[in-house]
Amino acid sequence: MKNLLFTLLLSFLITGITAQDSCSKFYPLEEGSSFEYTNYDKKGKPDGTVSYTISNVRQEGAATVATFDMKFQDKKGKDVFESNYSFSCENGLVKVDYKSLFPSQMMQQYSEMGLEMDISGTDIELPNDLNVGQQLNDANVTVAMSMSGINMNVSVDQTNRNVEKKESVTTSAGTFDCYVITENSTTKTMGATIKMKSKLWLAEGVGMIKQESYKDNGNLISKSELSAYNK
């Protein structure tokens, strides 16, 4: 269970899926749009895929809310697990609902097992008006769990989120002009602290093109690249 929760948190926090819409330049708000990313290990070998499909788009007051269905497969093509999450877009600013990272069905199953879970945090935000040198707001999420008198907390803090530069990047899906966003992340769980740095290549009208994660000492941990998309 700990590994599943940790994977859910990191898979979202290091990933920005995107396409153009009247509200957001980056996040897709069209039902049926789909995106596939190929993950690579530190040696550059394929290490599985993550697929996203926008299953629902709806209006909630002045905000437009989109739901993403997410599927993880390992390097052999075997399904690992499926999940979903949602975000809202209002006045050109995207915010993520952290609680939606944990689907209601999964939450119900854990509740029936006697697990109590409390999720809190500061939404991650991505504005339309990105500029080189811009500093973006920090974000964090904390999951407090309790079961049979045993408590466990998992927290992820995203800091030093900066728009570093613009550059062209090529993947198997094509060549794209991107903003490069850098950030630091600190994950705390079970008495352990994991510090990482990441780079995100983000293209208007398509979204996340490439993402790389590094150890605190600068050594590459993994990367993910857009390998197919349909919108």
Mean predicted confidence (pLDDT) in 19-40: 77
Q: What are phi and psi of 78, to 5 degrees?
A: -85, 135
Residues 82 and 73: their CA atoms lie apart, in Å, by 9
The answer to whether residue 163 scores a pLDDT higher than 50 is yes
The answer to whether residue 182 scores a pLDDT higher than 80 is yes
Q: Are 204 and 20 contacting, i.e. CB atoms less than 8 angstroms apart?
A: yes
The answer to whether residue 106 scores a pLDDT higher than 80 is no
Q: Please give the share of the chain, as a percent, with pLDDT higher than 70.
A: 83
Angle 158-189-157 from CA coordinates, rounded to 5°:
10
**pTM, rounded to two decimals:** 0.79
Q: Is 106 helix (H, G, I), strand (E, B) or coil?
A: helix
Residues 131 and 180: their CA atoms lie apart, in Å, by 10
Q: Please give the share of the chain, as a percent, with pLDDT higher than 90.
A: 39
The answer to whether residue 161 scores a pLDDT higher than 80 is yes
The answer to whether residue 30 scores a pLDDT higher than 70 is yes
Residues 121 and 169: their CA atoms lie apart, in Å, by 32
User: Exposed (0-12), middle (13-18) or buried (19+): which is 171, by Cβ within 10 Å?
Assistant: middle
Residue 106: left if φ>0, alpha if ψ -120 to 50, beta else—which one?
A: alpha
CA distances to 96, 156, 171 from 30, in Å: 17, 29, 23
Residues 110 and 103: their CA atoms lie apart, in Å, by 11
* Range of 16-30, 34-48, 138-152 with top mean pLDDT: 34-48
Q: What is the DSSP letter of 62?
A: T
Residues 13 and 33: their CA atoms lie apart, in Å, by 21
The domains located in the chain, with CATH, are 2-230 (2.40.360.20)
Return the amino acid letter for 105.
Answer: Q
Residues 56 and 71: their CA atoms lie apart, in Å, by 16
Report residue 103's pLDDT band, with 50, 70 and 90 as the boundaries. low
Q: Are 213 and 198 contacting, i.e. CB atoms less than 8 angstroms apart?
A: yes
Q: What are phi and psi of 157, to 5 degrees?
A: -110, 130
Q: What is the DSSP letter of 14?
A: T
Mean predicted confidence (pLDDT) in 88-93: 81
If one compares 204 and 211, the residue with the highest pLDDT of the two is 211
Q: What is the DSSP letter of 4?
A: H
Residues 198 and 186: their CA atoms lie apart, in Å, by 11
If one compares 49 and 147, the residue with the highest pLDDT of the two is 49
The answer to whether residue 142 scores a pLDDT higher than 80 is yes
Report residue 127's pLDDT band, with 50, 70 and 90 as the boundaries. confident
